[in-house]
Structure 1
Amino acid sequence: MSMRNFYIYAVATAIIIGSKYCLFALKSTVQVKGGIGPISMVLYHAGALVSGLVYPFVVRTIGIRRFLLLGDFVCTIFIIGSLYTGWQSVFTTTLFLGLVDSSFWAGAFSLAASFPTDSESTSTKDGERKVSRFLTIITLGQGLANLLPEAVLRNSVDDLTALNETDFMQCAARDCSMKYEYKSSASIFGRLTPTRLSYNILIGIFTALAACGMFIHYFVIPRDQSSVFEEGQHLMEDNVDNNRSRATLQTGKFRDVLSKSFTAMRGVFANSMNIFLLPSGLWLGMFLGFVWSTFSRSYVACTLGVRSVGPMIAIFDFMSCLTCFIIAWRHEFISVWQLSIVGSLLDSVGLALALTWMPTFATLYMPYVIALLLGVSHAVARTILFTIPVVYYSDKDSAFSMYALSSNSGCIISQVMSIGACAFWGIYLLMASSLLCTILLLVGHFKMHKSR
């Protein structure tokens, strides 16, 4: 199988993930009233925790191809469900999407690392190279998807220049969503809320994109060579007279897969290196939760309007994509511990700027600067997160699953804080945890290097 199919697979995945995360960035803004958007994101990440736990078993049972296609289908349903803004629809579709979350990260990246090509190379470096390229394409897709809100969405109040600077007093680090006056006449909701027609058009475009990505996946993803589902199908097709024996064989297969899956997970969770490596996944989750909720609402929509959320996240994603490309290009000369030091320094600069910025009409360019800095931090943290399972663990499926658990736990922390705490508390937590993660990662790296 050629590398062309690998790139087609990556582009299709980028289309789906880009549509999904663009809506995520809008949720805490468009559905801020009553906290529906942030609460639904907490439910999503709670479902993702369950998804991460059962991922190795599901993949061994039905195969990674079927699981990825199931995730694509549920994502399409989630996008369609976003047309309905009532809490029942929002909570249900978001929770279901969380339950198949590991197909987008653990599954997609695990397949990317081992995607069959004409090359005979199966080394760790080859897997790292594929993951870096896949990550670059995914990030580019997210950036392109986030350009759509600027072209489609329209604020319910467009003339932002008529506002007084006092309207910015609750924006940026001083934003406290629990202090909002949830009245339709409140001036802040004119900046946070799009018109219904423009929002419906955006949902229609994202639905078409997700369906297209799922269609491409169906033809490009290689068929699973072995899974309990496939073996069960073969048993059903065999001319076996004794149905009871056939059922016993299938039950035994499921038990065997279940035992192997949990044994592999237990082995990965028992790895002594986890104490040094896992906090990096937790931090990335907290960081992404901050970008999708606090940054998109408090720094962008609150000052520039909801239509600017997409382009701002696109700037964030494009900068992340460019950084991923540079890292992938120079990957042989950059190690995980070097990346961790650079990432920690960049985190400090970007978050310190977000903490100290006081919004005024003369400084409305600052969200763009912050987005650029956060984009670089995102790329570095993402590369570290998706490289660690390839480098430090033998069972990649279980390792990716464990890191999906840690990152989703971090997202839950950030989303909960965005509901019940002011923005500056989340920034303080991110700055402290970034420093701690870097120290632990360095200690873990040199401990592993010394043991070898």
Structure 2
Amino acid sequence: MSINEMQNENTTSVTLRHPKRTFYACSFGFAAYVGSTVGLATLQSSINIKNDLGPKSLLICFLCGLAGIITAPYTLKRFGAKATLITGEIIASFLTIANFYPRWFTMYPTAALTGLMSSSLTWSASAVIVHKVATADLENKIGEQADIATQKYFGIYLGIVAFGQIFCNGVTVLILEFVNDDLLGLNHKTVETDFDSNLSTQAPQYKTSNSSVIDTSQCAAKDCPAEYAYSNSTKLDVFIPDDSSRYVLFGWYLLMQLGAVLLHSIAMDPIPVDTYRKNMIASQNEEESPNRKLLLNKLREENDCSNLFAPIKISVLHLTSLQGILSAPVYLLYGLTISFIWSEFSRAYASCVVGLSQVGLTSALVDFLSLIVSMIISRCASNFGMFYIFLFGMCYDIALYVVILFWVPTPSTSYFVYIFASLFGVTYAVRRNTQYLTTSTLCPDKDVGFTIQNVLGGIGLMMTYAWTTAFCVYVKIYIMIGSVVATTVLWIFADRIHQKERN
């Protein structure tokens, strides 16, 4: 038996035995993990806006996440997608624990660790698992048929993830609405989240309606965090809940994250590691020497080095290629979009206009519409094609951003916040689906492709949190409009290049 055959035999022995169970265990477990982490991130620009602690923590998280372009491909190829996913989820729980006592010395280090070893690992690993299950079902499908089948799996996967976010947001609403210090008998005052322990909060920490505290006309597009993030403005009172609701909420998020770890550990099959490069090296060694044992040892040593540097080389080659440069803005726009929804919309529109307790409800509306639209895209993508999906997304997003730019909130029109949240669900679904479809279509190496997707998406997230307090919301809306137009035009060129190469 040749070395090449031995490698193939080893690969066959670790193929998925229960692909469907693995797929749904991965999807539902990851949905619980994403629901808790996204819920936590969504609230950071509100509950930890004092001294910009929450946005800065997320900035550090996504800045360190840039290292994922090195760590994620190596970890995926060295340890496999299952171990990578579970490790990332465990590390993410550290940042949740830090929120029980939010100070710079608890938040910043855990945010850095989460970005370095969790953010890129979990998303890349889950995408790889879904792709492997999908390709295991594509033995008799080639070309466009394979792309359609892959789109189906990713559509179901993204739909389940959206359902998990809806569920977690619903629980968030209940906790923020009904859990308080009076309910649990904790009638002590809460110290503000700043670096001066002598400053204590005298005003009520939480309100379901802020119309009596601030002028709502200064919310929405006119919201400027720099005016109150570093001061003792009364506007902070509508963003910061009491201790009881914080502790119960963070305890719920932690429970969801650890539950995801347990489900993935028990229910998922081991995910086979790609052996394409190993087989190539094995074939070369087989021709050069008859000593099989020495060759296998040499193969292992060479693979340890190649697994580290090969993904970096492939990433650089792809990102510096014309197609990679033109498609990169797709991932950046996704990061900008979701961070705008999590940060600017949640704070300036939801918390500021209808109250902090409604952030979970507006987020649930975003996720519910994204679930429906994701299912529609997965069903109809083969009929319409990605070109028309991108074109629709551009026209739709421009119209939505123009409306929220000129809308001035009043007590009688505050219900528009819920309408806007639903409309943002469509934007969220389009941007999320198109980035996955772009990766599965344009990137030849999926491990590296999904890593690039998450790293560039993290840069988009990082950009938003870097200027959270620097600019007013209306400036950020102008940036979003320009980004949508530029991304669509560049992607059209990238798609045309891909079609020519395919033909």
- TM-score, normalised to structure 2's length? 0.82
Q: Which amino acid aligns with 1:202?
A: L
Contact map agreement 1:67 1:103 (CA 8 A) in 2: yes
Q: Which amino acid aligns with 1:269?
A: L
Separation in 1 of the partners of 2:241 and 2:74?
42
2:463 counterpart (413, 423, 426): 413
Q: Which amino acid aligns with 1:109?
A: A
| Alignment CA distance shift 1:252-1:322 (3 Å) | same
Q: Which amino acid aligns with 1:151?
A: L
Could you say which residue in structure 2 is the equivalent of 1:302? Answer: 352
1:107 counterpart (118, 125, 138): 125
| Alignment CA distance shift 1:438-1:159 (3 Å) | closer
2:387 equivalent to 1:337: yes
Separation in 2 of the partners of 1:247 and 1:444?
42
User: What per-residue deviation string (whole Å, max 9, x for no partner) do you get for residues 330-377 of structure 1?
Assistant: 232131111101111111121112111111101101111111111101
Separation in 2 of the partners of 1:190 and 1:311?
20
| Alignment CA distance shift 1:422-1:120 (3 Å) | closer
Separation in 1 of the partners of 2:351 and 2:134?
43
How big is the shift at 1:300?
0.9
Separation in 2 of the partners of 1:181 and 1:212?
35
Q: Which amino acid aligns with 2:440?
A: V
Within 5 Å, give how 1:393-432 maps onto structure 2: 393-432=443-482
User: What per-residue deviation string (whole Å, max 9, x for no partner) do you get for residues 130-162 of structure 1?
Assistant: 112111111121122111221001583436266
Q: Which amino acid aligns with 1:297?
A: R
Separation in 1 of the partners of 2:372 and 2:229?
40
Could you say which residue in structure 1 is the equivalent of 2:54? Answer: 37
Within 5 Å, give how 1:265-344 maps onto structure 2: 265-344=315-394
2:251 equivalent to 1:204: yes
| Alignment CA distance shift 1:109-1:246 (3 Å) | closer
Separation in 2 of the partners of 1:162 and 1:173?
17
Higher mean displacement: 312-321 or 140-149: 140-149
Separation in 2 of the partners of 1:183 and 1:277?
42
Contact map agreement 1:268 1:395 (CA 8 A) in 2: no
2:161 equivalent to 1:138: yes
Separation in 2 of the partners of 1:57 and 1:419?
36
Separation in 2 of the partners of 1:227 and 1:333?
32
Structure 2: give runs of 5+ residues left out of the alignment. 1-17, 178-203, 279-294
Contact map agreement 1:53 1:402 (CA 8 A) in 2: no
Separation in 2 of the partners of 1:142 and 1:16?
9
Q: Matched residues, percent identical?
A: 23
Separation in 1 of the partners of 2:243 and 2:498?
55
| Alignment CA distance shift 1:126-1:220 (3 Å) | farther
Separation in 1 of the partners of 2:430 and 2:273?
35
Could you say which residue in structure 2 is the equivalent of 1:220? Answer: 267
| Alignment CA distance shift 1:256-1:147 (3 Å) | same
User: What per-residue deviation string (whole Å, max 9, x for no partner) do you get for residues 97-134 of structure 1?
Assistant: 11121122222112111127984536333322211211
2:148 equivalent to 1:125: yes
Matched positions, count: 436
Contact map agreement 1:348 1:431 (CA 8 A) in 2: yes
User: What per-residue deviation string (whole Å, max 9, x for no partner) do you get for residues 271-295 of structure 1?
Assistant: 3212221111111111112111111
Separation in 1 of the partners of 2:297 and 2:103?
44
1:389 counterpart (420, 424, 439): 439
1:88 counterpart (105, 111, 115): 105
User: What per-residue deviation string (whole Å, max 9, x for no partner) do you get for residues 377-411 of structure 1?
Assistant: 11011111001111112111111111212111111
- TM-score, normalised to structure 1's length? 0.90
| Alignment CA distance shift 1:359-1:255 (3 Å) | same
| Alignment CA distance shift 1:310-1:425 (3 Å) | same
| Alignment CA distance shift 1:350-1:142 (3 Å) | same
Q: Which amino acid aligns with 1:160?
A: S
Separation in 1 of the partners of 2:448 and 2:227?
42
Q: Which amino acid aligns with 2:222?
A: R
How big is the shift at 1:267?
3.2
| Alignment CA distance shift 1:190-1:259 (3 Å) | closer
Helix, strand or coil at the partner of 2:69: helix
Contact map agreement 2:134 2:153 (CA 8 A) in 1: no
